Amino acid sequence: MSTAVSIAQKNLHSKGFLDLEVDPTLDLFEEIEKLKKEKNAIILAHYYQESEIQDIADYIGDSLGLSQKAAKTDADIIVFAGVHFMAETAKMLSPEKKVLLPDLKAGCSLADSCPPHLFRKFKERHPDAVVVSYINCTAELKTLTDICCTSTNAVQVIESIPEDKQIIFAPDKNLGAYLQKKTGRDLILWNGTCMVHEIFSHEKITKLRQRHPNAEFIAHPECEAHILEEADFIGSTTGLLNYSRDSDATEFIVATEVGILHQMEKASPDKTFIPAPPNNTCACNECPHMKRNTLEKLYLCMKHEEPEIILEDWIIEQGVKSINRMLEISDRAGLGLKPQDALD
Ligand code: SF4
């Protein structure tokens, strides 16, 4: 092993990734394809990844599709181009496989807004409540959860719980408020939010809609209630993608992370997609955590098989139950992976 590699490995946890030079003359697409075959590896990418990472992925999806794919793959290595909690979920579903994340510091403000030690105390105040957690939470929080959900199946998960049961919903208060409205259930909400979805500007969106009167406004349920009230359609990232493809409208203002626009434009090349503006000086909404992954880091982590997601056995054993319950409810509700969603 070269000195540079051993220094990079020593610094892996402080940096989050293998900080090595990548030869600029390499064709990274070709190299990554070679590594996939050599190592029987699969790349799963979230819709919020850079477009070049989406283009090299074997499967692109939202949290539900990605966890279904992680549960079913027969690859030896899962390379997860997404954020930390997603790679942890893949590890819990496939503990015998090696799960790699290009940058360990690709976190999530929503998952971080619900520290397990504080949540444990919150849960003790409602001992009879069923705990439903949005999948955007840490592996340890999943051990304190009865059923996980994603934005695709959250309504079905809530509706699967008997009416006389109290429900705690964590960590996203905006998605929780949306679910209260949608299901008519009274949820005990944890006060967490996603930094990307809570800063859309109502005023700027209104002005944008005046300039584009024929555009449909579509939004993710992690957005705040006053933004969702204006939406023509509310859905998960896959839901928004499918809606924009099937709608007769030709222009859309999209309130979620801007990475999804790449797939929307590919699915509907004749349509126009405009990112909804946030309440700051940027023109679009990017998740800084998702964007920590780059093609170079993806290549390096496949080549050296690091950084790897390691979880303690008790976390896997306890946490996976809440994910499996979610997958069962999704299957019963017909929310499984569709053949056209899989690229491989
Ligand atoms: S977009 Fe929000 S919820 Fe998704 S990874 Fe980024 S911070 Fe987390």
d(CA 70, CA 58): 12
Question: Is the confidence at residue 44, as pLDDT, over 80?
Answer: yes
pLDDT in tens, 289-300: 999 999 999 999
87 lines ligand 1 (CB under 6 A): no
DSSP letter, residue 277: P
Residue (of 169, 213, 211, 208) closest to 192 by Cα position: 169
Binned at pLDDT 50, 70 and 90, residue 340 comes out as very low
Binned at pLDDT 50, 70 and 90, residue 2 comes out as confident
Binned at pLDDT 50, 70 and 90, residue 64 comes out as confident
In angstroms, what is the span from residue 106 Cα to ligand 1's centroid? Answer: 10
Residue (of 139, 134, 138, 142) closest to 175 by Cα position: 134
> Ligand 1: which of 50, 110, 149, 193 to mutate, most ligand atoms within 8 Å of CB?
110
> Residue 342 has what pLDDT?
39
Residue (of 179, 223, 178) closest to 205 by Cα position: 223
Task: Assess contact for 70 and 81: CB atoms under 8 A.
Answer: no
Binned at pLDDT 50, 70 and 90, residue 283 comes out as low
Spatial strand order of the sheet with 251-255 comes to: 233-234, 216-219, 251-255, 272-275
223 lines ligand 1 (CB under 6 A): no
Question: Is the confidence at residue 343, as pLDDT, over 90?
Answer: no
Per the DSSP assignment, residues forming a β-bridge with 169 are 132, 189
Range in 226-235, 284-293, 306-315 the model is least confident about: 284-293
